[in-house]
């Protein structure tokens, strides 16, 4: 665009130079001449004033100045052009850093140009010209005012009168600091045709109206924090053709009634919070070419009336909550080039889109389909892929991943797809049925068909794809060895996912061309054996988990010859690796995630791990590692997770553990041989959400400061943070997870990890009482101090911990009554207080009485649900446990989450670019994921 604009300027320059000025020497009016000479003096920071700007020489021949040849008045002033033309002529493109904008501090000379019709000062710094508006308001003939990127920071909200009645075009865009609402006078310009307010930091609301903008055809106001509803008058602007209001926090409805807005060609309301249905009037806009309503919360269906939009080229409705059947458009809308309906709730047969029942398809598609992008990712579409897809000869980007499509996909589905470039179709129940020597008509760069039924034989046709750079054939039921040609092909590959098949054999050296960028290799959950393969230094992510790799890590880690590796993610969990971890980590300084869990590694952690200063996640669970808490981690200060569970670590916890990891979220030291007292410093771990010290031999008291663990106070609820902690370049490929023991079971938390909080110190030798400060942890969900020697009473205010779901204080020596406040723990679904010295009556609440009597046994308690009736006042209500069943009926969605981790999307190309979501969306995401999980559980395809 910029280049085009510049080209046009240059062109204009020649036109002006060659036509206008040659004949008109000496016509400039004297006062206007003086005004322009003043202007010349006012221009700061400009290295070259144009050579034609000579004091005393007729100003009508000055570059950028246009005079009327009859009245001799200056009618146009193109300052932006003038101040930049030298650079343009020298071919310098100054847009970003180096260029300092010319500055004009005073516009007092301007009113002298009383006939000015066209004033353009693009990218001239007017930040010091505070009076700019008042001065410009003295130009009664102004038609076209262009103040793009002029560093304006103040705009007068009210003008006593305004002279802009002839204004047709007003451009104030990219004055990023206007910081006010749009001034009222802007809405009272009856001749205005074009209004551009993009990126001005204008706030809402808009005036209620009525407004006087009856000539307006173009209205742009994207990127302003309006945070208000759409003004009612907006869709009554009969002449509106181009409306751009993206990314403005616009909320509420797109009004269902509009006046006569039938001329609309371009409607862009992308990335707001609109939550209505798509209004019917929109389908009447026969001239509409571009429709961008993506990333809102629109609901309802897409009407079949959409086929009225005979001019439409782009339809973007992605990331809304639209439902119902797919609109039947392909073959009807002959100009349609892009259709993006992904991330909605569309259901029904995918063939709706193609209207196979009518004959339209064969007629309509053959020559007229310009469709180049079709994206239906992440809906609930069913049925078989219609063969007519293969007729979309212009299709380049075809995305149907994450649906419920089933049936066979054959060669004819691709027969004319000669332009296919991106094919995203993972996670459907589709079966590829092509001949063994199929030669596809396309040369794609991205092919993602994870989860399809393809095996048991290797898909030989991949060999024909010479431009391939991303392949996902995970979970496709392919067996046997990976052919040598494929390993060779993979040398040009950026992203390879062949995980969850039944591949055997050794993985050869993974050597990737330097120009392939930073490859990601996912080979997990197969039956690969032998040693860990060597990799080339540019590999970024390597996942070989859950295979049968054996021997030690030495060969792999210590191989580095020249320079160091770029590897960020290393997952070797779930193999048969043995021996000690070698002291070769100095070659791997970029590592952020190291997963070695579930192997047979022995020895202590080597010193060289101290170079891993970027490490975010360390999982060594279930090996036979020993030694004290590894001091080599002292420099890994960015860690989010440390999981050393089920090893043979010994000794006291160092006090620096609490001081060196300010962002630690997960600390799991369960089932080791740690001992000694718990350091006070643990309380400094302000981000800690999961603390698991269970099954060690810690002694002494629980630190009194434990109530300072602020992440357990807040929960993550109030934070506008993403709920997942993503590590992979591909959003969702590797997210942080933690094994958490709660409610008497172990679960894997990943997608909702950021929402969970747990403290487990069970099975130690802790003594003393439960610190009262614990009750400050009002964001804690799971709390387990069982099997210690704790004495004293349960803190009275335990009822303040409103989100507790699981409480286990069993097998201690607690005494006294169960605090009355317990009855306010309405989310409690697991409780074990057994085997203490508790006494008195169990407080009444629907919740407490619904637990099994074993939750209370081994105490001196009475009252329901215990059967022993030793009531002193004989006044125990005798109701049955009505709630017993309802408790079980509740979907335990935390439980469901444990299986989800594997089924994550490799699709998220754009995902990582998208904006952070608040935790409130977690639930919806979770629903998304949970059906993915169901898909992942399908019988191996």
Ligand X SMILES: *[C@@H]1O[C@H](CO)[C@@H](O)[C@H](O)[C@H]1NC(C)=O
Query: Which residues form the interface with ligand X (CB under 6 A)?
Result: 69, 176-177, 179, 201, 203, 238, 251-252, 259-260, 275, 406-407, 429, 431, 938
Query: Which helix (H) or strand (E) covers residue 339, if one does?
Result: strand 338-340
Instruction: Check if the beta carbon of residue 32 is closer than 8 Å to that of residue 112.
Output: yes
CB of 25 to ligand X, least distance (A): 13
In order of 236, 243, 310, 729, 766, the CA distances from 259 in angstroms are: 4, 15, 21, 47, 74
CB of 453 to ligand X, least distance (A): 7
CB of 939 to ligand X, least distance (A): 7
List beta partners, residue 497. 472, 522
CB of 402 to ligand X, least distance (A): 14
Residue positions counted in the chain: 941
CB of 558 to ligand X, least distance (A): 46
Among residues 368, 205, 379, the alpha carbon closest in space to that of 927 is found at 379
Q: Which is nearer to ligand X, 385 or 581 (CB)?
A: 385
Pairing of strands 470-472, 495-497: parallel
Q: Is 877 exposed, middle or buried (0-12, 13-18, 19+ CB in 10 A)?
A: exposed
CB of 796 to ligand X, least distance (A): 41
CB of 750 to ligand X, least distance (A): 23
CB of 28 to ligand X, least distance (A): 15
DSSP string, 557-617: HT---SS-----EEE--SS---SBPPS-GGG-TT--EEE--SS--EE---GGGGG-TT--E
Token pair 């070698």 is found at: 582
Q: Which is nearer to ligand X, 32 or 174 (CB)?
A: 174
Find the angle CA(747)-CA(751)-CA(757) to the nearest 5 degrees: 60
Question: Which residues are CB-contacts of 600 (< 8 A; sequence separation ≥ 6)?
Answer: 576, 577, 578, 623, 624
Instruction: Check if the beta carbon of residue 757 is closer than 8 Å to that of residue 712.
Output: yes
Among residues 501, 521, 525, the alpha carbon closest in space to that of 510 is found at 521
Query: Which helix (H) or strand (E) covers residue 484, if one does?
Result: helix 484-489
Q: Which is nearer to ligand X, 52 or 382 (CB)?
A: 382
CB of 937 to ligand X, least distance (A): 9
Token pair 């074990």 is found at: 832
CB of 855 to ligand X, least distance (A): 39
CB of 66 to ligand X, least distance (A): 9
Token pair 């008058």 is found at: 233
Cα–Cα distance, 672 to 846 (Å, whole number): 39
Among residues 640, 647, 591, 639, the alpha carbon closest in space to that of 620 is found at 647
Q: Which is nearer to ligand X, 275 or 632 (CB)?
A: 275
DSSP string, 57-103: S-GGGSTTEEE-TTT--EEEEEHHHHHHHHHHHTT---TTTTPPPPE
Q: Which is nearer to ligand X, 660 or 929 (CB)?
A: 929
Q: Which is nearer to ligand X, 138 or 176 (CB)?
A: 176
Q: Which is nearer to ligand X, 254 or 615 (CB)?
A: 254
| Per-residue buried b or exposed e for 163-195, using 16+ beta carbons within 10 Å of the residue's own CB | ebebbbbbbbbbbeebeebbbebbbbbebbbbb
CB of 197 to ligand X, least distance (A): 14
**Which two tokens mark 721?**
């943070």
φ, ψ for residue 766, nearest 5 deg? -70, 145
**Which two tokens mark 539?**
């590999």
Cα–Cα distance, 848 to 851 (Å, whole number): 6
Q: Which is nearer to ligand X, 168 or 332 (CB)?
A: 168
CB of 934 to ligand X, least distance (A): 8
Find the angle CA(371)-CA(372)-CA(378) to the nearest 5 degrees: 95
DSSP state of 421: -
CB of 245 to ligand X, least distance (A): 16
CB of 522 to ligand X, least distance (A): 24
Token pair 């001065």 is found at: 135
CB of 262 to ligand X, least distance (A): 9
φ, ψ for residue 308, nearest 5 deg? -75, -20
Instruction: Check if the beta carbon of residue 469 is closer than 8 Å to that of residue 446.
Output: yes
Q: Which is nearer to ligand X, 249 or 853 (CB)?
A: 249
């Amino acid at each position: 665009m910029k280049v085009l604009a510049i080209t046009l300027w240059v062109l204009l320059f020649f036109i002006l130079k060659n036509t206008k000025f040659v004949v008109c020497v000496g016509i400039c009016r004297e006062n206007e001449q003086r005004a322009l000479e003043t202007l010349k003096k006012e221009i700061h920071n400009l290295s070259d004033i144009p050579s034609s700007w000579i004091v005393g020489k007729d100003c009508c021949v000055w570059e950028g100045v246009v005079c009327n040849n009859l009245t001799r008045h200056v009618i146009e002033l193109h300052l932006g052009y003038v101040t930049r033309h030298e650079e343009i002529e020298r071919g310098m493109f100054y847009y970003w850093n180096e260029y300092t904008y010319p500055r004009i501090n005073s516009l007092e000379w301007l009113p002298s140009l009383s006939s000015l019709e066209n004033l353009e000062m693009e990218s001239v710094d007017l930040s010091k010209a505070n009076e700019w508006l008042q001065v410009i308001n003295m130009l009664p003939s102004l038609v076209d005012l262009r103040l793009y990127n002029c560093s304006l920071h103040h705009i007068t909200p009210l003008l006593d009168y305004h002279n802009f009645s002839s204004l047709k075009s007003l451009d104030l865009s990219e004055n990023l600091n206007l910081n006010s609402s749009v001034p009222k006078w802007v809405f009272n310009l009856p001749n205005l045709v074009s209004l551009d307010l993009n990126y001005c930091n204008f706030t809402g609301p808009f005036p209620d109206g009525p407004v006087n903008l009856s000539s307006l055809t173009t209205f742009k106001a994207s990127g302003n924090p309006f945070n208000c509803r759409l003004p009612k008058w907006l869709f009554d602007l009969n002449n509106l053709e181009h409306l751009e209001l993206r990314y403005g926090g616009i909320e509420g409805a797109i009004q269902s009634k509009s006046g006569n807005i039938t001329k609309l060609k371009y409607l862009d309301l992308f990335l707001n919070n609109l939550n209505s249905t798509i209004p019917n009037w929109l389908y009447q806009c026969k001239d509409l070419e571009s429709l961008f309503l993506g990333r809102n919360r629109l609901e309802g269906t897409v009407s079949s009336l959409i086929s009225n939009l005979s001019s439409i080229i782009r339809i973007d409705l992605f990331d809304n909550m639209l439902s119902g059947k797919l609109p039947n458009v392909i073959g009807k809308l002959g100009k349609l080039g892009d259709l993006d309906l992904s991330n909605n709730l569309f259901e029904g047969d995918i063939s709706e889109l193609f209207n196979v029942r009518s004959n339209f398809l064969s007629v309509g598609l053959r020559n007229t389909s310009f469709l180049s992008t079709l994206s239906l990712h992440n809906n609930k579409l069913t049925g078989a892929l219609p063969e007519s897809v293969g007729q979309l000869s212009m299709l380049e980007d075809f995305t149907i991943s994450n649906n419920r499509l089933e049936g066979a996909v054959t060669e004819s589905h691709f027969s004319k797809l000669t332009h296919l470039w991106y094919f995203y179709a993972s996670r459907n129940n589709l079966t590829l049925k092509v001949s063994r020597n199929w030669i596809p008509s396309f040369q794609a760069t991205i092919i993602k068909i994870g989860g399809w039924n393809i095996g048991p034989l290797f898909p030989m046709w991949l060999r024909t794809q010479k431009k391939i750079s991303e392949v996902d054939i995970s979970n496709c039921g392919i067996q046997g060895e990976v052919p040598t040609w494929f390993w060779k092909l993979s040398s040009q590959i950026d992203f390879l996912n062949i995980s969850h098949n039944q591949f055997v054999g050794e993985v050869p050296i993974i050597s990737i061309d330097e120009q392939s960028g930073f490859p990601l290799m996912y080979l997990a959950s197969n039956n690969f054996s032998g040693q860990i393969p060597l990799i080339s230094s540019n590999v970024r992510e390597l996942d070989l988990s859950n295979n049968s790799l054996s021997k030690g890590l030495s060969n792999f880690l210590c191989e580095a010859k020249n320079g160091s590796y770029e590897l960020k993610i290393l997952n070797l969990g779930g193999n048969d690796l043995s021996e000690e971890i070698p002291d070769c980590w100095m070659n791997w300084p970029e590592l952020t995630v190291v997963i070695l869990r579930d192997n047979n590694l022995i020895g202590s952690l080597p010193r060289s791990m101290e170079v891993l200063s970027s490490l975010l996640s360390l999982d060594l669970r279930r090996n036979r590692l020993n030694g004290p808490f590894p001091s080599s981690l002292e420099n890994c200060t960015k860690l989010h997770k440390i999981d050393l569970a089920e090893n043979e670590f010994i000794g006291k916890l160092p006090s620096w553990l609490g001081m060196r990891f300010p962002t630690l979220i997960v600390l799991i030291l369960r089932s080791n041989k740690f001992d000694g007292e718990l350091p006070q410093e643990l309380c400094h771990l302000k981000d800690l959400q999961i603390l698991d010290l269970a099954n060690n031999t810690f002694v002494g008291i629980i630190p009194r400061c434990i109530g300072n663990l602020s992440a357990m106070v807040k929960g993550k609820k109030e934070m506008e943070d993403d709920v997942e902690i993503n590590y992979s370049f591909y959003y969702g490929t590797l997210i942080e997870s933690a094994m958490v023991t709660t409610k008497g079971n172990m679960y894997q938390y990943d997608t909702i990890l950021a929402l969970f909080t747990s403290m487990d110190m069970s099975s130690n030798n802790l003594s003393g009482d439960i610190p009262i400060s614990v009750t400050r942890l009002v964001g804690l969900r799971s709390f387990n101090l069982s099997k210690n020697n704790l004495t004293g009473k349960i803190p009275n205010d335990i009822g303040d911990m409103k989100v507790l779901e699981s409480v286990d204080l069993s097998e201690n020596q607690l005494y006294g009554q169960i605090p009355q406040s317990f009855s306010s723990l309405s989310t409690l679904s697991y409780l074990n207080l057994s085997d203490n010295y508790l006494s008195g009556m169990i407080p009444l609440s629907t919740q407490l009485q619904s637990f099994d009597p074993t939750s209370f046994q081994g105490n001196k308690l009475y009252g329901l649900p215990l059967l022993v009736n030793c009531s002193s006042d004989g006044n125990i209500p005798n109701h049955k446990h009505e709630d017993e069943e309802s408790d079980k009926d509740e979907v335990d969605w935390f439980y469901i989450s444990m299986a989800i981790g594997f089924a994550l999307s490799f699709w998220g190309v754009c995902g990582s670019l998208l904006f952070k979501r608040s935790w409130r969306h977690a639930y919806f995401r979770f629903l998304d994921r949970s059906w993915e999980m169901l898909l992942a559980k399908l019988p191996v395809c």
